[in-house]
Amino acid sequence: MRLTTSARHGVGALAILLLAGAAGCGGPDAGPEAVTPTTVRVLVRDINIRAEGVDCAGTGPYLYFHHRAPFRVLDPDGAALVTGTLPAGTAVAAFDEDLGVERVPTYCEFAVPVQVPQRAGYRLEVAGRPALDLTPDTSEGPALVAVVPA
């Protein structure tokens, strides 16, 4: 089989492209990105009257923070690093004061164990609502925390 000059050039270019592609496929494998375990903590400051320690959801405008609500942890570019659903929240006392009654003003705290790759920042999106900034915090172990309303 005889090839014209231009055809030979074309075949040469194709061979180079194939070799480059093969080199790309067979090169050093980056592998899965390293991730670090941490806990996403969200404190919904709704000051609702509850018994301390009971399961809770956010109230009023924050009712979308509830058990089974879908969430995503995003990186600064908006890429989803983790997706899941929230567990039930836990009622925590809003004020460090013994009021002498069972039901007291509380906030509703959500804690979700996650594993995230290293990024310059993280955001939390719940139920498709605008994302919240997450701030690193180590006061109770590694965590990314948000307070609502900020």
Partner 1 sequence: MRRLLAGLLAVLVLAGCTARPADRPAPAALAGGAATLPGPVPADLALRPPPGDAPAAPAFTGGLTDGTPLTAARLWADRPVVFTFFSSWCTTCADRQDALSELARRHRDRVVFVGVAGADQADELQDYLRTHRVEYPVVVDEQQTVWRSYAVREPPAVVLVAKGGALLRGWPGGLDAAALEQRLGELVLAGSG
Query: Taking the complex as a whole, how short is the minimal distance between the CB of residue 70 and partner 1, in angstroms?
Result: 11
Residue selected from 15, 63, 79, 99 as contacting partner 1 according to rule CB under 8 A: 63
The residue among 38 and 106 lying less far from partner 1, judged by its C-beta, is 106
Q: Which of 69, 73, 82, 94 binds partner 1 (CB under 8 A)?
A: 69
Q: Which of 19, 67, 78, 83 binds partner 1 (CB under 8 A)?
A: 67
Contact assessment for residue 75 and residue 81, using Cβ atoms and an 8 Å cutoff: yes
For partner 1, give the closer residue by CB, 21 or 53.
53
Q: Could you give the CA distance from residue 52 to residue 31 in angstroms, rounded to a whole number?
A: 45
Do the beta carbons of residue 47 and residue 106 sit within 8 Å?
yes
21 three-state secondary structure: helix
| Residue 108 tokens, joined | 């509703």
Stretch that binds partner 1, among 14-22, 57-65, 115-123, 133-141 (CB under 8 A): 57-65
Q: Cβ neighbours of residue 108 under 8 Å, at least 6 residues apart? A: 43, 44, 46, 48, 56, 57, 58, 59, 62, 65, 89, 90, 91, 92
Helices (H), the chain: 5-26
112 binds partner 1 (CB under 8 A): no
99 lines the binding site for partner 1 (CB under 8 A):
no
Q: Which of 85, 78, 76 is nearest to 127 (CA)?
A: 85
Decide if residue 66 touches partner 1 (CB under 8 A): yes
Instruction: Looking at residues 6 to 45 of the shown chain, list those that interact with partner 1 (rule: CB under 8 A).
Output: none
- Interface ranges with partner 1 (CB under 8 A): 46, 48-51, 54-60, 63-64, 66-69, 88, 103
